[in-house]
Structure 1
Amino acid sequence: MYRLFISHSWKYSDAYDKVSSMLTQGGINYYNHSVPKDDPIHTNGTDKQLYDAIEAKIKGCSCLIILAGVYSTYSKWINIEIELANKYSKPIIAIEPWDSERTSSVVKNNATRVVGWNSSSLCKAIKELA
């Protein structure tokens, strides 16, 4: 079983759901280290509490999966996730969004591997890196 942290913004939960679906389609059995949507830290916690929760989740995962959309460049939390992944030597798999003309150079420059928006390339990267 793989221990995966799927970076996401709950504002864009459809992308998170699609990544989860790709993992299932690819036969990846995984434990989800992402901070759950129903965790009160998202809405009622402080930045420090969310940082600590993300750090604990990343510390115990095998690898991070981050969507490399342009919005990622401007997310302070994705930058923190990248920093924590590097701190704990966790591989980062960046997924280039389907039909995207612009992607986040911040995510791609920090990625161990950049894959396309498809189940087979994502699952192959997980099997090789996690």
Structure 2
Amino acid sequence: MQILLKWIIGGLIAKSAYNQLVKEKVPQRRVFISHSWKKGSLDYEKLIKKIKKEKILIYNHSIPTDKAFDERKKKELEKIFRKQMIYCSKVFVLANKGLRSDSYVQTEIRIAKELGKEIIAVKPVGQKGIPYFIRNKADKIIANKINSIKKVLK
């Protein structure tokens, strides 16, 4: 009986170890999601919820919406953006039609390009076009749908 018990326990441990080794590891993606506090916070929150709901592993380098900064300090902001983006691989830009080219989204896009980051423009569902300054700099333009998001994060 004791030998049988040892054999069963040993088999369970071996199976568990094998499953752990074979288990496909999904890497955690490091992303920065550019958003405007005035025009994009709701879209930003929806995108984050969508990603979490699908259990997509990301490390979000974005500046949280509840930690808005003093927009008058341009040089300081550029340092913050650069610091947040330096370790990410992709920069998502919520391409809302109302964004102006003089917004800080433009600054974030410029810094992302300087750092060699892939820029993904996320077009809201049902929106006809996206602002020219975003379309012109984006490496990819995707719909704000979970399958499109999953595809660019692979």
Gaps of 5+ in 1: none
> Are the aligned partners of 1:26 and 1:120 in contact in 2 as well (CA < 8 Å)?
no
Give the CA deviation at 1:93. 0.7
- Structure-2 separation of matches of 1:95 and 1:38: 22
1:35 paired residue number: 63
- Structure-1 separation of matches of 2:91 and 2:71: 25
1:106 paired residue number: 133
- TM-score normalised per structure 2: 0.73
Structure 2 residue identity aligned to 1:51? E
Deviation readout 1:86-129 (Å, 9 max, x if unpaired)? 111100111111111231121122111111120110121121xx
- Is it true that 1:25 corresponds to 2:53 in the alignment? yes
Number of paired residues? Answer: 126
- Structure-2 separation of matches of 1:61 and 1:96: 21
Gaps of 5+ in 2: 1-27
> Are the aligned partners of 2:91 and 2:119 in contact in 1 as well (CA < 8 Å)?
yes
Deviation readout 1:7-50 (Å, 9 max, x if unpaired)? 0112231100111122223332111101123436x148722211
- Structure-1 separation of matches of 2:71 and 2:91: 25
> Are the aligned partners of 2:35 and 2:41 in contact in 1 as well (CA < 8 Å)?
yes
Superposed CA RMSD in Å reads 1.9
Deviation readout 1:35-83 (Å, 9 max, x if unpaired)? 123436x148722211110111111211100012223343431111111
**Distance change >3 Å, CA 47–CA 110, structure 1 → 2:** same
- Structure-2 separation of matches of 1:100 and 1:75: 21
- TM-score normalised per structure 1: 0.85
- Structure-2 separation of matches of 1:9 and 1:89: 22
1:93 paired residue number: 120
- Structure-1 separation of matches of 2:75 and 2:97: 25
> Are the aligned partners of 1:26 and 1:123 in contact in 2 as well (CA < 8 Å)?
no
2:146 paired residue number: 119
- Which of 1 and 2 has higher RCO (CA within 8 Å, sep 6+)? 1
Q: Pick the structure with more helix per residue.
A: 1
Structure 2 residue identity aligned to 1:22? K
